A and B are shown apart, each in its own frame.
Chain A
Amino acid sequence: MTETPNLVAFTPERLEKVKEIIARYPEGRQKSALLPVLHVAQEQWGWLSSEVMDYVAGILSIQPVEVYEVASFYTMYHLDPVGKHVIEYCRTGPCCLMGGENVYGHLKQKLGVEAGQTTADGLFTLKEVECLAACGWGPVFQIREQFYMNLTNDKVDQIIEDLSK
């Protein structure tokens, strides 16, 4: 699990990136940078604690509540600590038609956790998500930016084993 950061600050490289993002928008419209900057923050800390959100609010010169309401509205932002690998599996119709429910059942059994939970070793968090726009290649899950497609129980076993090394 990622600890709550004591000292909240972007790394110098990420701070550069954040400045570059803010500069994209017209003057006075820096709030437009909120969603992309929250992605950068999550990349650094793994999840968005209230300290991190307050820090982002300060950088963008907006109220903390403006960050909270956005972070809690969009499903990609984690508001609680997560494991090293967050497995986001698609539960929507087309993936289920292709046997998704069985594959995800197998995944849960293998990890011994339900959706929304993290394995005891802190390695995997399971998260149920809606359609990932990959319906022709279902069942599908995503780990960070990587899509894993046409999943079967065997493929799931292999992926979990590879990531457990």
Chain B
Amino acid sequence: MAKKILTEHINVPGIETFDVYRKQGGYTAVEKAIKTMTPEEVVEEAKKSGVRGRGGAGFPMGMKWGFLAKPEGVPRYLVCNADESEPGTFKDHHLMKSIPHLLIEGMIISSYALGANKSFIYVRGELMYVIRILEKAIEEAKAQGFLGKNILGSGYDLELIVQPGGGAYICGEETALLESLEGKRGNPRNKPPFPAVKGLYQSPTVVNNVESIANMSWIINNGGDAYAAIGIGRSTGTKLISASGHIEKPGVYEIELGVSVEEFLNSDEYCGGIRKGHHLKALVAGGSSVPILPAHLIMKTANGEDRLMSYESLSDGGFATGTMLGSGGFIVFDETACIVRNTWNFSRFYHHESCGQCSPCREGTGWMEKVLHRIEHGHGSMHDVDLLVDISKKIEGNTICPLGDAAAWPVASAIRHFRDEFVWHITNPHEATQPGAVYRGEMELA
């Protein structure tokens, strides 16, 4: 069995309660950090661990902490991003509902490291039942002296607040999240200033993903170096992968970074292979916004090397032949899946979720959705394929936040790798619009 950092105790009965979590060694990392370490030493361990932002961007967490401004007399904030909304991603949902104290413990350690006395967990509003689980866990931790005033007699105070969202993918973008937390529409802010200088209430703020913060207990107990020894190269530690689509065993799996894509997909420890009687056609490895890959680029890179579940290996070949680890939303497509229909579906998502602030995204996402809708419904023209590529290029890089890129990449990559399928829809509209019709042309399956 591979190393488990986050999910080792996740199936212990009652692990959602303080007592059981504590019996499994819970909150020892808080004791160690607060009683024996300075905040700077905690930050140093985070840096040594090399743990990278697990929300999708993959930016080193310790380095992000290092950017936090510390002006005299100004409060600092830690905000946990639990707005998990990227299609294909449901790991934070799983982690928070199953083992809420792991996040609470990580929040206490991280808040101590950053000198924050009031920290927030911003959870997407649809997960109201998870919010109640977290609030209960916070009450328990408070009753045991791990939260509130003078934690463990150290003089350190921390209040932890769970904030519900209202239903908006854009609030996963950190500055939109902060706007939302201030009671406003989730419009991303122009940067600079970055949140590390002016974030929540114009105060220095760090925003980190649930999974990133949940790693902190293990890092403090075992040391940043021990964490960095797990994984491969700059992809240190483990990663939660949300596996969905046409596989035998959908679910959330913790992998050691560097396991091969083939092992993750086919072994019984993880996905259990493509559903019986079917073949792999395509994969979205890191949530809906990362480029989709065709079968022949999934198990091996363009150079013929084994493709690994790591930041570097998945992006090997750039966007021409690679993709990204992203949030770890692993969506598997077999030969029954229509790439055009799925691309239209994802486009509709980004159009729906665009905040409307930047014209290229507001107009471009809607335009792409319309063009894809007409191709999927038998009214496309040959010109449309290049038109889509053109629109995607004009959105990419031209918006305040990365939602524009996230909308452009799935369309551009689908056409890059599955152009024949788009052309088939346009040249065979009658056949292509039959229920369940899927292109079965010259396509390599695995």
Q: A interface vs B, CB < 8 Å?
A: 24, 26, 29, 31-36, 38-39, 60, 62, 66, 69-70, 73-77, 88, 91-94, 96-98, 129-138, 142, 144-147
The residues of B that contact A134 with a CB separation of less than 8 Å are 90, 93
The residues of B that contact A146 with a CB separation of less than 8 Å are 129
Known: A93-B88, A135-B331, A145-B128. 5 other contacts (CB 8 A): A32-B183, A74-B165, A131-B349, A137-B250, A146-B129
The minimal Cβ–Cβ distance linking B387 to chain A, given in whole angstroms, is 22
Question: Are B161 and A24 in contact, with the CB atoms below 8 A?
Answer: yes
Secondary structure call for the B interface: mixed
Question: Are A26 and B125 in contact, with the CB atoms below 8 A?
Answer: no
Q: B interface vs A, CB < 8 Å?
A: 75, 84-90, 92-93, 118, 124-129, 132, 159, 161, 163-169, 180-186, 201, 242-246, 250-252, 288, 329, 331, 333, 337, 341-342, 345-346, 348-349, 352-353, 355
A-B CB contact pairs (8 Å), 21 listed: A36-B164, A39-B125, A66-B184, A69-B184, A70-B183, A74-B166, A93-B88, A94-B244, A96-B341, A97-B246, A97-B333, A98-B245, A129-B167, A130-B87, A131-B85, A133-B124, A134-B93, A135-B87, A135-B88, A135-B329, A136-B250
- Assuming the A-B contacts A93-B342, A94-B245, A131-B87, are A35 and B180 also in contact, with contact meaning beta carbons closer than 8 angstroms in the complex? yes
Q: Which of B86, B87, B132, B352: most chain A Cβ within 10 A? A: B87
Give the distance in Å from the alpha carbon of A136 to the alpha carbon of B242 in the complex. Answer: 7
Give the distance in Å from the alpha carbon of A44 to the alpha carbon of B303 in the complex. Answer: 60
- Assuming the A-B contacts A24-B161, A93-B87, A97-B244, are A77 and B181 also in contact, with contact meaning beta carbons closer than 8 angstroms in the complex? no
The residues of B that contact A74 with a CB separation of less than 8 Å are 125, 165-168, 186
- Assuming the A-B contacts A39-B164, A74-B125, A92-B87, are A138 and B201 also in contact, with contact meaning beta carbons closer than 8 angstroms in the complex? no
Q: Which of B126, B129, B250, B337 contacts A76 (CB 8 A)?
A: B126
The residues of A that contact B243 with a CB separation of less than 8 Å are 136
Q: Which of A36, A73, A138 contacts B163 (CB 8 A)?
A: A36
The minimal Cβ–Cβ distance linking A48 to chain B, given in whole angstroms, is 11
The residues of B that contact A62 with a CB separation of less than 8 Å are 183
Q: Which 6 A-B pairs give the minimum distances between C-beta atoms? A: A74-B166, A34-B183, A76-B167, A136-B250, A31-B183, A75-B167
Give the distance in Å from the alpha carbon of A138 to the alpha carbon of B87 in the complex. Answer: 12
The residues of A that contact B85 with a CB separation of less than 8 Å are 130-131, 133
Give the distance in Å from the alpha carbon of A83 to the alpha carbon of B21 in the complex. Answer: 41
